[in-house]
Structure 1
Amino acid sequence: MLCCVNPDCQKPLNPHKNNYCQSCRAELIPLLGGRYRPTQVLSDEGGFGRTYLAEDVHKLNECCVVKQFAPKLQGTGPLTKAVELFKQEARRLQELAEHPQIPTLLAYFEQNSYLFLVQQFIDGQNLLKEWGTRGSYSEAEIRELLLDLLPVLKFIHVRGVIHRDIKPQNIIHRQSDGRLVLIDFGASKLLTATVQTKMGTVIGSHGYTALEQMQDGKAYPASDLFSLGATCFHLLTGVRPSQLWIQQGYSWVASWRQYLISPGKDGVSVSIELGEVLDNLLQLDIQKRYQSADEVITDLTRRLSPLSAVPPTLLTPTFTATPANKGPVSPKPNNNLKSQLLLGTSILVLGLGGVWYFQTRPHTMREFSQPIPQPISQPIQPQKNLSENYFLPKPLKGHSSDVNSVAFSPDGKTLASGSDDKTIKLWNLASGQEIHTLEGNSDWIWTVAFSPDSKTLASGSADKTIKLWNLETGKLIRTLEGHSDGVSSVAFSPDGKTLASGAASKDMKIKLWNLKTGKLIRTLEGHTNGVSSVVFSPDGKTLASGSWDKTIKLWNLETGKLIRTLQGHSERILSVAFAPDGKTLVSGSKDKTIKLWNLETGKLIHTLKGHNDKVNSVAFLPSATPNGVNLVSGSSDKTIKLWNSVTGKEIHTLETGSGYIYAIAISPDGQTIAGGGSGENILKVWQMIH
């Protein structure tokens, strides 16, 4: 289905084939920003915009969330200023793309006189829905909630951001790891407020919003802490603060304990210690309330014994201190309040974030943009473990959009990268310099692969074509046409005579091409959804294909017949790779797991778990390292993980910073790992140091 993005449309769902909405007759927009297909309304802001579930067609229809802001942008004045603030704040808040409990901002743009934000989709239930199915929280669970969310609030507060609308609906219990994710930074509400200043619009939700924010529209870190306290009250008692606010305003906060059910009546109660913490969170007078998340964490750990169930990283996060004139503070007596007002008319953008790693996180490899010199007085220590043996040099910069595919030439001299910017770049690995930019596709590049002799590059594109390039000259050799949807994967046979290609969901076919003539040899059919990955076995006799239909198929290349189908993943297969000996196959999936398969028996060997988001790419090293690492995986959780496939153990993690990892490749000598994806540095290379 396709959603009409007229915010006043009463029945926005339409069949894909429609050009105009069957309800309101507005012209339908098939792709927002040229890539996001709205498929379902998630929430409605009452004529001022909607939030949609969407598919990112640049990323094989990956789910994302699109937030629309209305009314339509016309003329000058306050609305024009709101647009300026929107763009300014979106850029500034991209700096928050370091924290794993804040959704990542993927894009922001203006289209058809509306503003749009695109963010990462979080798979899980918000706490209001969860409460509806499971009932009230215990004291221990409230303590865990506080210790999970307070570091997130500290993170945004020291960076000058106030959430302004904390409530159960805006906290998602992420399914993959059980962590709490803070969503909806109120961009649509703030835009509405900027447009409707004369109407006295207030940002927040009645009952959860602090008095100073409700009365004066001024928000501080302590304002978010009041909302957090109200959220805890709701989850403890099952009583909505919004209902109490309608009945009695703010008077309920002074007697919130009366809504607890006494022990012995299948209800909940709280200890004196937690009660005092909630008292301090729910103070009407901001001067008497906790002033920072740090104060609450300190008080919690002082008053209450630590909970063994709470991960230790939640208790010891570290932040870089923000200068006093850069970060928000709560008003104090005799302070200049005007200088402390924060974001009174600014636009806070929805769901910004990325990866933020606690210092206590285990199994991490350090990354540096340049070598860190050691003092001359201290001799350089010899390398002792794998985490010290990888160095991240300056990222390779040149692409203007996401990198979807990377590949090393078999001679180890060249790296190729294919991007959403419709170009392929060739890089000299020795110098890090760009050799060629290959242009000719009319849509984004999904896949690239080198021929065994390193003389030819094949690329597959969303424009449904495969192009063969002469690597010495950078010129196009020929274009192969025949797929009816975007080409998502290409692979050369070991003898260099055949090319295999797989296509997306409208095609679902695998094609084998004669590289000398450019003619189609045969078409392999059997998958019931798009083919995401194709790869030849080392002996060239077998082709493996991974599909969105959740299966892997093995094909006899001499006969074109299906050998067997491997089943076990619960979501789409995104990548497959053969081990160097050809006896094992590895697969990465949207279900966040990696599976290893015995190709002789077709049986599952191991399931590797460790990623917190879909596994987009997997690759074997030519041989195992001294630490036993022989398998590498890249994920949308913004990490690359190194594994021992024999034991099934995770050895180390390369932290990639902000941005998803869509593709990885290993150099022929096993000394270099390349990762392509999204974010500021969309192409990175890790080099082994001896």
Structure 2
Amino acid sequence: MICCLNPDCPNPLNPDSNKLCQTCSTPLIPLLRNRFRVIRVLSDEGGFGRTYLSQDIDKLNERCVIKQLAPKFQGTWSQKKAMELFAEEAKRLQELGEHPQIPTLVAYFEQDHCMYLVQQFINGENLLKELQRRKVYKDRDIQAILLDILPILKFIHERGVIHRDLKPENIIRSHLDGRLSLIDFGSSKQFTSRVHNKIGTSIGSHGYSPIEQIRDGKAYPASDLFGLGATCFHLLTGISPFQLWMEHGYAWVASWRQYLRSPINAELDYVLDKLLQKDIQYRYQTTSEVIRELAPKSQLLLPPANSKATRVPTNQTKFLPRKFNILKSLVLVSAFILLFGFGDAWYQQYQHIQASLASRLSRSNHRQSNSEAVLSESATIALGNVSLAKTLKGGKNSILSVAISPDGKMIASNSDRTIKLWNLATGEEISTLNGHSLRVNVVSITPDGKTLVSGSDDNTIKVWNLATGKPIHTLIGHSDSVHALAISPDGKTIIDGSDDNTIKVWNLSTGQIIRTLVGHEFWVRSIVVSPDGQTLASGSFDKTIKVWNLAKGYAIRTLENAKTITCLAISPDGKILASASRDRTIKLWNLASGEEISTLMGHANTVTSVSFSPDGKTLVSGSRDRTIKLWNLSSKEEIFTLVGHTNTVTSVSFSPDGKTLVSGSDDHTIKIWRVAS
């Protein structure tokens, strides 16, 4: 068959013997430039031409893609702009085609008043078609897509090019090796001062392109990162950002979580939220920042920052054979040398090494899992002075928050949009509390043990009667998710922190708001009240801790930190404030003076939760490195490390008598640890 090159022909395929198109009578061209045989139409470019699948007879009929520019209205602004972009795309492919995941330029020429761009054919399927076929993407699929595309973006950004049209249709997965390729550089633009300072042409796809690009025609590396985030959102939810943009404008990005089919892990949630920030200043600015966020979340963790501080008891080595620990370290050293020394090529090498190691680790872990499965649920695994007594299965949802009742008999935990209550002694589920319309992020129990308080992505706080399981109040006032809660020691006041950057103080018995504390410039994700009820400390993603006079509602001081604050705790005597951060450290502060006392180092990834023991002698911390560490507060040294969770440890808490430690994790489990006296 021979294909008609009239872009308006409705049925372009013809028998090889035809000289004229049987549909539109246009003369047929057997070979473009005496080299390229056009086979069929791949896509229509909206009146400006078509894209064709073709064969290159000079390369043994190797398949290629030919893009045609045939604008209908000669001499118009649209025609001139289209020709400029077409020429720029050819130039970009010539410059960037050396990357193995960007199509190479084969030829660029004019024939019969049309322009033609010939590029390498990627034998695969774009992600939109893949979505339509497979329907569901898991967290790990999205993280794999990010780690495959980010090095490509890093490559083009380092060469001063912004793609400006990131969307599922422009990402193709190869049938040969599964790698993703980035196509369609027709909207790409050189990243120069001209882009910064002058309003340019608005190019991109609505819903996928950020506001600075659509409104002002400005494009930066962070603009491409928004498009990548919108693409991942589309794959996760099956909902087109274009449709949301048509209905809500850019308002949809502030509430993107409500469209999720199911909750995603905390790490991916954080990354996507930062990719999808409407205001560019709150977005990731470079691909390297995103790669650094995602790389530690892969199967191989960073080596400990301080070998002394992270020593693990010898009886824990059964979790991973020593030879694999050595091999893991060697792989990580190699991977990070490649990452920082050889640009995007690191990732392909890293994948190859990781796949080989993962296969061996999987076989080892399988044997380990089989051996552990024979242990009865009442059996304990001794780890120094702490033993793992029980693991509670939380279903398919990440455990983001756990709270222990004052009598030490019950555990409360979030479970997607519900709250589950557990018998701490037996591990049996007692009941499920229903009422929130979106994911529950945090739970807390009042000092008298009669009331539970929960904060949610639905922007509300609910107050529950624990005896009946019924809601007493729904507190409405925030414009964004609630992630942090504290209850005053007298049980009369609720304090919460929200992603709308504010802190609200509520009367627990009436549900009425007392005051709103304003001062943080980004999400407030941690709140803690001193034992005397006089002082409040709040931690924010603006990298600060604020210490407040709770009774009068004013800020006493602000403590600056180099990285995002993830959690806070105050010692039982009210003298020490502990703060954890994305820099993998825990800082101890004098609460009264605001002076830094010391820094605890040892975790290999972000510290996500901290809690003091009731006697104030021990601090426990949970981390994205999947471990729990116990610290001696007198010596400021690590006591030992608890290993067992298979994903981020999101929450840790001591029972009131200090004999039990409870941890929640993104691995969907709650672990109950017994602490020897």
TM band (smaller chain): 0.5 to 0.7
- AA aligned to 1:4 is K
Q: Equivalent residues in 2 for 1:487-502 (5 A)?
A: 487-502=482-497
Q: Compared with structure 1, are the counterparts of its residues 448 and 16 closer, same or farther at alpha carbon in structure 2 (3 Å cutoff)?
A: farther
Gaps of 5+ in 1: 40-53, 67-100, 106-118, 124-146, 157-165, 188-219, 225-291, 294-316, 324-355, 357-365, 375-382
Find 1:558's aligned residue among 551, 572, 585: 551
Q: Structure 2 matches for 1:417-496, cutoff 5 A?
A: 417-419=413-415, 421-496=416-491
Give the aligned partner of residue 622 of structure 1: 614
What corresponds to 2:194 in structure 1?
none
Identify the residue that residue 151 of structure 1 maps to in structure 2: 327
Query: CA separation in 2, counterparts of 1:496 and 1:412?
Result: 17
Which residue of 1 is the match for residue 595 of structure 2? 603
Which position in structure 1 is the counterpart of 2:569?
Answer: 577
Deviations 1:73-130 (A, max 9, x none): xxxxxxxxxxxxxxxxxxxxxxxxxxxx99656xxxxxxxxxxxxx99989xxxxxxx
1:652 is aligned, of 617, 637, 640, to 640
Kindly indicate whether residue 406 of structure 2 is the aligned counterpart of residue 410 of structure 1: yes
CA contact (8 A) 2:400 2:414 kept: yes
The 1:368–1:669 alpha-carbon spacing in structure 2 relative to 1, beyond 3 Å, is farther
Query: Do the aligned partners of residues 181 and 512 (structure 1) sit closer, same or farther apart at CA in structure 2, a change above 3 Å counting?
Result: farther
Question: In structure 2, how many angstroms separate the alpha carbons of the residues matched to 1:525 and 1:533?
Answer: 15
What letter corresponds to residue 450 of structure 1 in structure 2?
I
Q: Give the corresponding residue for 2:505.
A: 512
Question: For 2:233, which of 4, 9, 31 is the aligned residue?
Answer: 31
| 2:529 is the counterpart of 1:536 | yes
Matched, 1:59 2:266: yes
User: What is the CA-CA distance between 1:682 and the residue it aligns to?
Assistant: 2.2
Instruction: Give the structure 2 partner of residue 523 of structure 1.
Output: 516
In the alignment, structure 1 residue 549 sits paired with structure 2 residue 545: no
Is the Cα–Cα contact under 8 Å of residues 102 and 182 in structure 1 kept in the other structure?
A: no
Amino acid across the alignment from 2:491 = G
Q: Answer yes or no: is the 8 Å Cα contact 1:619–1:631 preserved in 2.
A: yes
Cα distance 1:398–1:520, how it changes in 2: closer, same or farther (>3 A)? same
Unaligned 5+ segments in structure 2 are 1-163, 171-182, 188-203, 242-255, 258-262, 275-293, 304-322
Check the 8 A contact 1:438/1:475 in 2, yes or no: yes
Deviation at 1:28, TM superposition (A): 5.6
Equivalent position of 2:624 in the other structure: 636
Pairwise mapping of residues 130-529 of structure 1 onto structure 2 (< 5 A)?
Answer: 151-152=327-328, 171-172=338-339, 183-184=350-351, 320=364, 370=376, 387-419=383-415, 421-504=416-499, 507-529=500-522
Aligned counterpart, 1:4: 167
Correspondences of 1:81-96 after superposition (within 5 Å) = none
Q: Report SS of the residue matched to 1:396.
A: strand
Deviation for aligned residue 1:462:
1.0
1:252-305, Cα deviation, whole Å (9 max, x unpaired): xxxxxxxxxxxxxxxxxxxxxxxxxxxxxxxxxxxxxxxx99xxxxxxxxxxxx
Query: Given the superposition, is the C-alpha separation of residues 153 and 503 from structure 1 closer, same or farther in structure 2, using an over 3 Å criterion?
Result: closer
Shift of 1:498: 0.5
Q: Does structure 1 conserve the Cα–Cα contact (< 8 Å) formed by 2:390 and 2:673?
A: no
The answer to whether the 8 A contact 1:422-1:443 is kept is yes
Q: 1:3 to 1:62 in 2, by over 3 A?
A: farther
> What SS does structure 1 have at the residue aligned with 2:327?
helix
* Alignment CA distance shift 1:322-1:689 (3 Å): closer
Asked if structure 1 preserves the Cα contact closer than 8 Å seen for 2:391 and 2:671, the reply is yes
The CA distance in 1 between the partners of 2:417 and 2:386, in whole Å, is 31
Offset of residue 656 of structure 1 = 2.4
Q: Which of the two has higher C-alpha Rg? A: 2
Q: In structure 2, which of residues 604, 612, 620 is the aligned counterpart of residue 612 of structure 1?
A: 604
Contact 2:301 2:625 (8 Å CA) reproduced:
no
- Match of 2:430, SS? strand
User: Which letter does structure 2 place at the counterpart of 1:151?
Assistant: L
Q: Alpha carbons of 1:457 and 1:33: their partners in 2 closer, same or farther (altered >3 Å)?
A: farther
Separation of aligned partners in 1, 2:365 and 2:491: 56
Shift in alpha-carbon separation, 1:520–1:182, aligned structure 2, 3 A: farther
Q: Tell me if the contact between 1:542 and 1:557 (Cα under 8 Å) persists in the aligned partners.
A: yes
Question: TM-score, normalization: structure 1?
Answer: 0.51
From the superposition, tell whether residues 520 and 565 of structure 1 become closer, same or farther in structure 2 (CA, over 3 Å). same
What is the distance in 1 between the residues matched to 2:233 and 2:646?
25
Alignment-mate amino acid for residue 399 of structure 1? G
Counterpart contact for 2:265–2:398, Cα < 8 Å: no
**CA RMSD, 1 decimal:** 4.9
CA change 1:410–1:153 in 2 (3 A) is closer
Residue 14 (structure 1) aligned to one of 206, 209, 214 = 209
Q: Is the 8 A contact 1:673 1:686 kept in 2?
A: yes
Residue 478 (structure 1) shift:
1.6
**Aligned CA distance change for structure 1 residues 120 and 464 (closer, same or farther; 3 Å):** farther
CA-to-aligned-CA distance 1:24-71 (integer Å, 9 cap, x gap): 9999657246589999xxxxxxxxxxxxxx9998638523799xxxxx
Closer, same or farther in 2 for the Cα pair 1:322/1:373, shift >3 Å? closer
Structure 2 distance, partners of 1:401, 1:605, is: 38
Distance 1:658 1:599 in 2: 34
Counterpart selection for 1:677 from 662, 665, 670: 665
Q: Give the whole-Å Cα distance in 1 for the aligned partners of 2:353 and 2:169.
A: 20
Q: Distance in 2 between matches of 1:647 and 1:154?
A: 32
Distance 1:185 1:516 in 2: 59
Contact 1:498 1:513 in 2 (8 A): yes
* Structure with more relative contact order (C-alpha pairs < 8 Å, separation 6 or more): 1
Q: What displacement does 1:657 show?
A: 3.6
Q: CA deviation at 1:489?
A: 0.5
Residue aligned with 1:654, SS: strand
Deviation at 1:3, TM superposition (A): 4.7
Distance 1:416 1:32, change over 3 A: farther
| Residues 26/647 of structure 1: CA separation in 2 closer, same or farther (3 Å cut) | closer
| 8 Å contact kept, 1:466–1:479 | yes
Work out whether 1:687 is the aligned partner of 2:669: no
Q: Provide Cα deviations, 1:550-594, integer angstroms capped at 9, x if missing partner.
A: 111111112111111112x21110101110000110001111110
The CA deviation at 1:181 is 12
Aligned 8 A contact 2:413 2:421 in 1:
yes
Deviations for 1:429-455, whole angstroms, at most 9, x for unmatched residues? 121111111122121111110011111
Any idea what SS the aligned residue of 2:271 has? strand
Question: How far apart, in 2, do the equivalents of 1:529 and 1:656 lie?
Answer: 33
In 2, Cα distance between the equivalents of 1:607 and 1:631? 13
Distance in 2 of aligned mates of 1:497 and 1:322:
50
Shift of 1:367: 13
Alignment partner of 1:587 is 2:569: no
SS in 2 for 1:403: coil
| Residues 1:36 and 1:469: Cα distance change in structure 2 (over 3 Å) | farther
Partner of 1:274: none
Q: Deviation string for 1:440-498 (max 9, x for gaps)? A: 21211111100111111111011111111111111111211111110011111011111
* 1:590–1:35 CA distance, 2 compared to 1 (3 A): farther
Amino acid at match of 1:59: A
- Counterpart amino acid of residue 602 in structure 1: G
Would the aligned equivalents of 2:566 and 2:582 in 1 still touch at CA under 8 Å?
yes
Shift of 1:4: 2.5
